[in-house]
Amino acid sequence: MPVTNEEIATRPVAASASYYSTFDKGYLALSPAKKYISSSSAWTREWTLLEPSGSKQAGASSKDALRSIVISQQLLATEAIVIVKHTGCGMLTFENEDAYGVVERNLGAEARRELEEKSWISSLSLS
């Protein structure tokens, strides 16, 4: 069954309210306890909440995560970077032109032009 626009708009708010209604970790320091940041395509759930500073980046591209890494290391005192990658990443199943074409069909030529200015990771090698 398709998800409605209303569900898309309200689901994150409801999920956040549910999460924070039982959240009891407000005492944790802003800086990560273990002094490292992780950059991953999908959040590594094995890590304890707020153990590392986290940066979820599709494709786990350190280039895409650079801003978060710089902030984490320069302002939050992290000392190491962990980049988690995996094979079969869905972000690598398309080429730039595929994404541009879909955006143009769905959102128009102006949206395509804006997208073309961005750096995509479809050519990233995970080997």
Q: What is the pTM of this model?
A: 0.43
**Residue 40 C-alpha from the chain's centroid:** 7
Please tell me the distance from the alpha carbon of residue 35 to that of residue 49, in angstroms, as a whole number.
14
Same domain, 37 and 78: yes
Please tell me the distance from the alpha carbon of residue 126 to that of residue 98, in angstroms, as a whole number.
20
Q: Residues near 47 by Cβ (< 8 Å), separated by ≥ 6?
A: 38, 54
SS3 at position 117: coil
- Ligand-binding site membership of 86 (annotated): yes
Average pLDDT over residues 41-55: 53
pLDDT (0 to 100) of residue 126: 47
pLDDT over 60 at 122, yes or no: no
pLDDT (0 to 100) of residue 34: 77
pLDDT (0 to 100) of residue 26: 83
Q: How many CB atoms lie within 10 A of CB 72?
A: 25
Same domain, 34 and 54: yes
Same domain, 47 and 67: yes
Residue range(s) defining the domain that contains residue 79: 29-86
- Ligand-binding site membership of 89 (annotated): yes
List pLDDT tens digits, range 58-98.
Answer: 554 556 677 778 888 888 888 887 766 666 666 677 788 88
Same domain, 74 and 101: no
Same domain, 67 and 97: no
Same domain, 47 and 96: no
pLDDT (0 to 100) of residue 11: 82
